[in-house]
Amino acid sequence: MKLDETIALLKQGRHVPEETVYKLCQQSQELLMYEANVTRVDTPVTICGDIHGQLHDLLTLFEESGGIEKSRYIFLGDFVDRGFYSLESFLLLLCYKLRYPDRITMIRGNHETRQITKVYGFYDEIVRKYGNSNVWRYCCEVFDYLALGAIINESIFCVHGGLSPDVTTINQIRAIDRKQEVPHEGAMCDLLWSDPDDVETWSLSPRGAGFLFGKNEVDQFLHKNKFDLIARAHQLVMEGYKEMFGGGLVTVWSAPNYCYRCGNVAAVLTVDDQMDRNYTIFEAVPAQDDVGNAIIPTKKPQMDYFL
Partner 1 sequence: MDNKNALGRGIDTIQITKAREIHMQTVRSRMPQAVPVPTTQTDSMGPGNTTTNVAPQVGGCHIHRHRANNPNNPPCAHCGAVIIPAPKARFPAEDEPSITIGDWTISTRKKTILNSVEMEQWEEKLRGLALPEMIFGNSFVRVENKAHGFVMEFNALEALKAVKLEDSGIRVSYAHKWISSKKRNREKSADLQDTSLEIGHHYDWTYTTSYKGHFEGPSLKRDDQERIPIDKLSRPDPILFYDDMILFEDELADNGIGVLNVKVRVMNERLLVLSRFFLRVDGVLFRVYDTRLFVEFDENKLIREYKEHEDTYQNVLANKALKHVRDPKAMLRDSNWVASQLPLRKRECEVLQL
Minimum gap (Å) between residue 240 Cβ and partner 1: 10
- With respect to partner 1, which residue has the nearer C-beta, 3 or 285? 285
Q: Of 48 and 189, which has the nearer Cβ to partner 1?
A: 189
Q: Which is nearer to partner 1, 195 or 228 (CB)?
A: 195
Least distance (Å) between residue 134 CB and partner 1: 16
**Do 172 and 190 form a contact (C-beta atoms < 8 A)?**
no
- x/- letters, 90..119, toward partner 1 (CB under 8 A): --------------------xx----x-xx
Biggest CA–CA distance in the chain, Å, is 61
111 part of the active site: yes
Binding mask 170-199 for partner 1 (x = CB under 8 A): --------------xxx------x-x-x-x
Nearest to 261 by CA among 298, 302, 303: 298
Cβ 16 to partner 1 shortest distance, Å:
23
CA distance 224 to 159: 17
Count the site residues for partner 1 by CB under 8 A.
53
Which residue among 70, 207, 274, 293 contacts partner 1 (CB under 8 A)? Answer: 207
Residue pair 41/151 in contact (Cβ under 8 Å)? The answer is yes
The C-alpha atoms of residue 80 and residue 111 are separated, in whole angstroms, by 7
The residue among 242, 230, 254, 238 whose CA lies nearest residue 93 is: 254
Among 29, 39, 225, 235, binds partner 1 (CB under 8 A): 235
Let me know: does 91 contact 99? Beta carbons within 8 Å: no
Closest to 78 in 3D by CA, of 47, 56, 107? 107
Given 111, 184, 223, 234, the catalytic residue: 111
Residue 280, SS3 per DSSP: strand
User: Could you say which of 166, 215, 219, 285 contacts partner 1 (CB under 8 A)?
Assistant: 166
131 binds partner 1 (CB under 8 A): no
Q: What is the set of active-site residues?
A: 111
